[in-house]
Every structure is written in C-alpha cells, then in structure tokens.
Amino acid sequence: MTADNKTEKLQGRALFEAIGKPKTIVAPMVDQSELAWRILSRRYGAELCYTPMFHARLFANEPKYRDSMWSELDGDKEKDRPLIVQFCANDADYLLKAARFVEDKCDAVDLNLGCPQGIAKKGNYGAFLMDDWELVHKLIRNLHDNLKCPVTAKIRVYDDWEKSLEYAKLVLDAGAQFITIHGRTRDMKGQATGLANWDLLRYLRDNLPEDQVFFANGNILYPSDLQRCTDAVKCDAVMSAEGNLYNPAVFWTKTDDIDMQFRRVDKMLREYFEIVKEVPGEASRHAMKSHFFKLLHAFLNVHTELRPVIGKTSVHSSFDEWEKIVVRVEEIVEEIYQKDNISEIDVVTTGEVQSWGGSYKTVPFWRCQPYFRTVNGEKQNTRVLHVAATEKVEKTSKKEVKQDAKVQTEESSTKRKPSEELEGERKKVDIEKENVTI
C-alpha cells in the first residue's frame, strides 16, 4: 500500500468508533497479555486488548519465534477482537516486515516506545528511543505509509512537560492514530515506580488536537480508579498493566459486586486454567506459571507451602500436574468459607482518601487484589511516593499505615515461617514480577 491509497484505512476517531469506542484496555506486557489472558480479561470488562510486545526483527525473520508468539486463534474476529498488536523495533524495514504478518488479523499495529527495562536499553528499543526522535518518526511513518491497517504508539513522559508535549506531537505527526501515554518517566520502574502524573496527562490531553484519541496509563489499582482517571485526564480510555495482571477483574464496573471486582482466587485461577487448556499455540502455556504466581500473590504470602510447588512445576509439565495445584487452592479456599465468621471476614474495606485522590482497600488474601512492591521493608502503599515529572511526593496517611499494618499482622498469624529456600524462591518471583510490565 502506498501513500496514495493509505486513506482507505480508518483513521483517528473513525477507527476508535469502528472498534466500539472501548473504555478499558489490557496493556501490552512482555509475555503476559497473551491469548488466554486476553480471553479472561475480556470476560471481566476489558473492551480492547494489546498483544504482548513482540520483537520485530525476530518476528519478521524467525518462523520459530513467530509461531511461538502467534497462533491461528490470535486476532480471531469472534474471540480476540478488537486487538492491537505491539512490536518493539529500531529498524523500519524489519518493523514493516513483521507487521505485514498480522495486518489482516488485528485492528492496528502499535509501536512500543515505553518499555523501560534493561533489555530495552541493551537492544535500543522501547523507551530508549526517546533519545532518537528522528528514528521514532521514521518507524511510525513507514508503517503509516505502507501497512494495510493503522498504526498507533505507546509512550512515556519526560520530566519536562513541554518536551513531553512536543514528543507526543511528533508521534502523531508521524502517523499514529491513537496515542497511549504512560504517566511515568523512563526511570520510574521496579522499586522506583512511584505515581503516574495524571495532571501531566491532562495537560497533554488539553494541548493536543481535540479529536485526538487519547489513552491514559498508570495508577489503576481498583475498578473505582477507572472513572477517576477518565474524569481527571479527560481521556478516551484507560489502560492497565500491573493492575490487570494481579486482578483481571480490575475492569469490572457493570456492578459493584465483591464477587466480580475482587474474585475469589480459586474461582479466577480455575477459570484461567480452563482457558489455557483450550487455546492453541505455545504463548499461553509458557505464560501460565507467571500468571499463577500473580493471581495468587497475596494468597501465597499466607500459604507459603504452595510457592515452591508452583516454582518447581515446569510449564511443560502435564496439565494433570497443574490441576493438582488448582485443586489444592480450591480446597484451601473452601475451608476458609466453612468458617463460622466468614460473613464478617470476607469483606473489602476502603481506607480514607489519600492526597493523590484515591483510597487503598483492604482485601482478604483469598481474593484477587493489587500488588504493592516492598522497598527496604516498607510496602509501596505505606511509604512516600514520588510523582512523575514533579518534585512532589505523596505519603500514605498514618491512619492508613496502621490499618495496613493490622491486616499484615492478622495474616501473618496464619503463616508458616519461610525457610531460606522459600525466601529465595520469593525473591526470584519478585524479580520476575518487575520484568513483565512495559
């Protein structure tokens, strides 16, 4: 397709309306937003999904890599749409070659300009292309001019608000039809994640063309945060990465229902496992262990005996072996629900409003819930947090800290003391957690 007939493609607002004007989006994540996970997330309110980040050169040139990442059901019109396929790249020709393999099975192709991980720095892609605007423009323009389907882009912000705006304008000038902006800087990752800056996102929204399709990313912990973000940023839709990984029902807003918004881990795990068994291809199977750890993260802090069992079970093990783990989780949770005081303890409580506008919730460990990193022994939801692109920091209220500490004390009373082996396994899992989101 040439520049002369590129207008045949849907663009901008027309494209957004054609895919149903989605409001909730599963973010592209390294090996974590694969087919089975997308199917699960759509059941709980996700209206648009991105694939995992694919490496353009490998996808273009290595059939084995491509076949491991993409199956005949990926992009299926009935089960996996709307869908945006994301690539990381630093070569325009490889990017176009890779995108042509999927251009008929997706609604758009996205360029990853947001991955902040060390592997992206080493490979010179993702957020590290923020240092080469000419290359960014070339990559997007080549897709816009030559691909059948539209191109979109996902970026991060700079500390400089004006530079962030100029960068967003360059991405749009190159041909991106949607822009997703993660309200954190490139340095905000892992233990230094901090808070995304919704004020900066609103500034960018207000200074870009009024009809520009704009997606916001960052600070989504609970379903209630979706509308807060939409109202604060005036965005078209809200994307979640880590929030979705630990609770696929983070997008559920149809009802204010604890059993849907904070699903029991036994039920969510079973539902996900049954999907994995049914879908084709390697990607969903390979991602399964990581998803088990994330869905069960709070549960495993109490039932530590299951952590090494999951850790030692290979993704190549039979489904019968994984079935044993799922059944054991079901048995433990069922025992909890046999307690006489279950109606008193099976509740989600909301803390006081924090200075950044949201509230932390206390969720029983047997329900899906957000993950908070621990830095120097202090949980992220009880410490000072840096706000992106400002000198501002936010501190959880003392009352909220006490509440969190109380919950941890109550839960720890039922824990077995972890051995050195278990602690080592936990550290491995934490490292894995910090390397998946982009």
Decide: 129 and 106 in contact? Cβ < 8 Å. Answer: no
- Going by C-alpha positions, the residue among 149, 140, 36, 145 that lies closest to residue 84 is 149
Distance from the Cα of residue 335 to its chain's centroid: 32
Q: What does DSSP assign to residue 127?
A: G
CB hemisphere CA count around 105 (13 angstroms): 17
| Catalytic site includes residue 88 | no
Phi, psi (deg, nearest 5) at residue 387: -95, 130
- Contact status, residue 58 vs residue 69, Cβ threshold 8 Å: no
Q: CA 105 to CA 153: how far, in whole Å?
A: 18
User: What single DSSP character describes residue 383?
Assistant: S
3 by DSSP, 3-state: which? coil
Helix 198-207 vs helix 161-174: crossing angle, to nearest 10: 50
Only one residue has tokens 């949980």, namely 379
Determine whether 11 is exposed, middle or buried from the number of CB atoms within 10 Å of its CB (0-12, 13-18, 19+): middle
Q: Rounded distance, CA 230 to CA 227, Å?
A: 5
Q: Which residues contact 275 (CB under 8 A, 6 or more apart)?
A: 36, 39, 40, 284
Peptide bond into 22 cis (omega under 30): no
Identify the active-site residue in 115, 149, 229, 235. 115
Give the whole-angstrom CA distance, residue 155 versus residue 140.
Answer: 12
Return the bridge partners of 379, or none. Answer: 374
Active site residues: 115
